[in-house]
Chain A
Amino acid sequence: MPDALVLEGIHHGYGEAEVLHGVSLTAAGGAITCLLGPSGCGKSTLLRLAAGLEAPAAGTIRIEGELVAGEGVAVPPERRGVGLLFQDAALFPHLTVADNIGFGLRGQPAAERARRIEALLGLARLGSLRDSYPHLLSGGEQQRVALARALAPQPRVLLLDEPFSGLDTQLRHGVRGEMVAILRTVRTAVVLVTHDPEEALLLADHIALMRAGRIVQSGTPAALYRQPADPFVAAFFGGVNRIEARVCGASVPSPLGPLSAQGIASGTPVACLIREEAMTLHAGPVNGEAGPHAIVQSARLLGGASLVDLLTHPSRGVPRHLQARVPGFGVPPPGAEVWIEVDPRLVHVFPATA
């Protein structure tokens, strides 16, 4: 069976400015693919192209193997079999919940239609709101109706455009859980656009990270976190300490001691990105007296973890500011001297660019 959605070599722009420069993306059936990236990188545009709301300037789009855009073909959105969910639920204000869900079921026998609406009302736990009008619903309920409405015609691909960013933090967590549970039961192919890396890590089977109209890296969440392709990817999934230096032999000298050059040739200027969570703090020396150590400047509790501001010890050269994210409460007080252990798996070294 062909992949649910395949975009190849997509170029697109508004007027003179090109916003997508040759993007290729594949979304597999039954999986959640996340299009992740900062605002304005072109990810929502890509979604609109997939839905058929706009036509690409170049490139092809296939849905379950069928060519829907490019090579002279332009299948209109209503004949693509895609579902689309916006940040604002975009419910039709003049229709009840049930009629909203049934909007896409035109042309089916009434009994079949009613049965399908009932099934979706049940799936989205909306049975009691059947005859309500959208303005009476909470934000989470509106999103559930929008999801049920998008699923009703059994789309081949479901496209979600930042569906949770309109909700406040507390609500978002619950709605996200509910919606993912629904999506996992229907097992349709899902493409989710988001700018929130945490959300992508939480929901995605596959992430495509975009920047300025290009896909920078694409892979499983673990791959993007563990083997980032460049400093942008590394920094996108959380705070990093950036140290610039020059490779010396097989290692890079740093205030945290020598770091592995990860195969980069000696003499190359590099940027070392050390994740905040790569550092473990100890009250005493770990690797002998020469081990890196620092003085705690301040520490802030963030709930599950604490963020510690450190200044490297003057005995290690010019003091340097570092940030470490450590679990729990056992945080040393300001002024305390700590010894730092670095997890080499969470250090990423890249040749310095310009």
Chain B
Amino acid sequence: MSLALQMPAPGTRLAVLLAAVVAAPLGVIFVLALTPTDGLWQHLAATVLAEYLGNTLLLAAGVGAATIVIGTGCAWLVAMCDFPGRRWLDWALVLPLAMPAYVLAYAYTDLLQFTGPLQGLLRSLTGWRWGDYWFPPIHSPGGAILVLSLAFYPYVYVLARTAFLDQSICALEVGRTLGCSAWGAFLRIALPLARPAIAAGAGFAVMETLADFGAVRYFEVPTFTTGIYRAWFAYGSPAAAAQLASLLLLAVFAVLLVERVSRGRRRYAHTSSRYRDLRPVPLHGIRAVAATLACGLPPALGLAIPAAALAAMALRSGEPLAAARLAVLVSDTVQLGAVVSLATCGVAILAVYAVRRTRGGVAPGLMRAALLGYATPGVVIAVGVLIAVGMLDSAIDATSRQLLGISTGLVLGGTLAAVAYGCAVRFLAVAYNPLDAGLARIRPSLADTARTLGATAGGVLARVHIPLLRGSLLSALLLVFVEVLKELPATMMLRPFNFDTLAVEAFQLATTERLDAAAVPALIIVAVGLLPVLLLCRMIRASRPGARNA
């Protein structure tokens, strides 16, 4: 028996506890969904289910296809060809990750609505007036597919680009010597090799699409997420919300499964440890211009143009957000972000350790289950937390009344703790994965050596692991902070009374027809959101095979 197996208790107990706390909201939803309620299923099926299902599938299919085409195409051009602006576009293509889909939705509404600049230009050119012409409505499933695809194509781009670069020396040159043309090498070698990565990226995009609340709610496209929200708040039916949430969760887990299977097969790309800089094929003339345009369009449409539109809205806003109000919003947001990122990273580092200490057994499986929070739509987590916290509150109340004769009322519901809990559940994986990867890079012999040199287990953590993990820890904190900043449905549904984050305020302004006023908080979200994206750009560059990570 190894030492770790002989004393599994602390690691396993901790991992089980953490996993249980994190999985509680999801468990509550499934329990509630499986509780028989007379005729609710039939009622849902007869009324809203078909519409939710149709729209959700349409969006998932549309966004999946669009992100694959945009992401793979741009990744191939950037990885394999040389054209003006390639170096810039290489990382500019990642930047739209900073744009939450709902912010894109506000910007494009402003750009494309009847009074917007595009239709205004059209009218002044043609002399048409209202009703003379048809213009595609942005508040439609098609519009939602547009903004969601622009927001999520970088997932495919990042993974496909890495896949293309990784295979450079192994396969492509061999393929060319065996008689493939450049195009043939792409179709017959590069694309099949990159297919798992592309599928994984598209899987992320589809999961985010299923989880999206802000954009579809603003565009008034009824999907599962908006349906759950309406079931909870408008109809006051936790049972219906739980039923819908459990269906959505099943769909998310199905996509997750596809993504995991794809990722599991990604291994076969590496047959050689050698890496040589790929010599990109130079493009000339019209083809070079076409390539520049093709790669320039997604970042322009996904970041530059909507950001400019937001800036214009902010400037012309007749009713600017008062500085005092903005200060409150920023303070609330930073407060929530700081609490959640510190708590989440603390829990994540405990969890990483707990899992490592146990080496096998049930703990890693439980932890994987707990990490599913990230795949879970914020609306679903919010409903789960509301139900779970409600149950806990009434239990505390009942106990207190029994023991002390005092009614405690709501202890946790509607407090900052409930929001923080919801966000921590949702973003545990965001903190866990970089920390786990960071720890995996630290050879176990370092810890063993430190132990024989007189360091205790805690000493190893403090003197060896934390200093070496500092980079991972900082990026985990930053990533969680930004996710909290961008998160809309969970914070909106769980926040205490009069506690508004930037995202919530922007959403409320936009949905109450004060779109211009929403521009400033939206711009702040985008500006801060760019930080981790730039970090990601740097990591992508540093992670080139063969590049030294000093």
Contact = CB atoms under 8 A, between A and B. Distances in A.
Contacts of B463: 103
A106 B454 contact: yes
A57 B1 contact: yes
B445 to A, nearest CB: 4
A153 B468 contact: no
B452 A77 contact: yes
Contacts of A57: 1
A54 B550 CA distance: 32
Among B2, B448, B449, residue most surrounded by chain A Cβ atoms (within 10 Å): B449
Given A90-B448, A150-B449, 12 more contacts: A12-B1, A78-B452, A80-B452, A83-B452, A86-B445, A86-B448, A86-B449, A90-B445, A90-B446, A103-B455, A106-B454, A153-B454
Contact of A54 (B2, B456, B468): B2
B446 A92 contact: yes
B467 A94 contact: yes
B464 interface: yes
A135 B1 CA distance: 35
B151 to A, nearest CB: 38
Given A55-B6, A90-B445, A104 B453 contact: yes
Contacts of B445: 86, 88, 90
A76 B456 contact: yes
Interface string B221-238: 000000000000000000
A1 to B, nearest CB: 22
B3 A55 contact: yes
Contacts of A82: 452
A248 B443 CA distance: 59
A153 B449 CA distance: 13
Interface string B446-486: 10111111111001000110011000000000000000000
Interface string A122-137: 0000000000000100
Interface in A142-184: 146, 149-150, 152-153, 155, 159
B6 A77 contact: no
Contacts of A52: 451-452
Contacts of B452: 51-53, 77-78, 80, 82-84, 150, 155, 159
Interface of A: 12-15, 48, 51-55, 57, 74, 76-80, 82-84, 86, 88, 90, 92-94, 103-104, 106-107, 135, 146, 149-150, 152-153, 155, 159
Bin the interface of chain B by size.
20 to 34
Contact of A78 (B2, B454, B468): B454
Nearest first, the 8 closest Cβ-Cβ pairs linking A and B are: A104-B453, A90-B445, A77-B451, A84-B452, A86-B445, A78-B454, A54-B3, A54-B2
Interface string B376-401: 00000000000000000000000000
Given A55-B6, A78-B459, A90 B451 contact: no
Nearest to A93: B468
Interface of B: 1-6, 443, 445-446, 448-456, 459, 463-464, 467-468, 550
A135 B463 CA distance: 19
B546 to A, nearest CB: 16
Contacts of B449: 84, 86, 90, 146, 149-150
Contacts of B450: 92, 103
Contacts of B5: 14-15
A51 B3 CA distance: 12
B6 A84 contact: no
B169 to A, nearest CB: 24
Contacts of B453: 78, 83, 103-104, 149-150, 152-153
A97 to B, nearest CB: 15
A86 B450 CA distance: 12
Given A55-B6, A78-B455, A153-B454, A84 B448 contact: yes
20 contacts: A12-B1, A13-B1, A48-B448, A52-B451, A53-B451, A54-B3, A55-B2, A78-B451, A78-B453, A78-B455, A82-B452, A84-B449, A90-B446, A92-B468, A103-B450, A103-B463, A104-B454, A106-B454, A150-B452, A159-B452
A203 B467 CA distance: 37
A78 B1 contact: no
A74 B451 CA distance: 14
Contacts of A93: 468
Contacts of A92: 446, 450, 464, 468
A109 B1 CA distance: 39
A153 B450 CA distance: 12
B3 A88 contact: no
A24 B550 CA distance: 44
A146 to B, nearest CB: 8
Nearest to A78: B454
Contacts of B3: 53-55, 74
A82 to B, nearest CB: 6
Nearest to B468: A94
Contacts of A149: 449, 453
B510 to A, nearest CB: 47
A78 B448 contact: no
Contacts of B456: 76, 78
A229 B450 CA distance: 39
A90 B3 CA distance: 21
Nearest to A57: B1
Nearest to A107: B454
Contacts of A150: 449, 452-453
Among B4, B452, B455, residue most surrounded by chain A Cβ atoms (within 10 Å): B452
B357 to A, nearest CB: 13
A77 B455 CA distance: 8
Contacts of A90: 443, 445-446, 448-449
Nearest to A136: B550
A152 B453 CA distance: 9
A340 to B, nearest CB: 48
A152 B449 CA distance: 13
A88 B448 contact: no
A159 B452 CA distance: 10
Nearest to A86: B445
A150 B451 CA distance: 11
Nearest to A56: B1
Contacts of A83: 452-453
Given A78-B451, A94-B467, A106-B454, A135 B550 contact: yes
Nearest to A14: B2
A7 B2 CA distance: 17
A94 B471 CA distance: 12
A88 B2 contact: no
A84 B448 CA distance: 8
Contacts of A77: 448, 451-452
A154 to B, nearest CB: 11
A53 B446 contact: no
Given A12-B1, A55-B1, A76-B456, A88 B451 contact: no
Nearest to A12: B1
Contacts of A78: 451-456, 459
A263 B452 CA distance: 49
Contacts of B468: 92-94
Nearest to A152: B453
Contacts of A48: 448
Nearest to A79: B454
Contacts of B550: 135
Nearest to B466: A94
A150 B450 CA distance: 10
Contacts of B2: 14, 54-55
Contacts of B446: 90, 92
Contacts of A12: 1
B451 A76 contact: yes
Contacts of A15: 5
Contacts of B4: 54
A103 B467 CA distance: 14
Among A51, A77, A84, A88, residue most surrounded by chain B Cβ atoms (within 10 Å): A77
A12 B1 CA distance: 6
Contacts of A74: 3
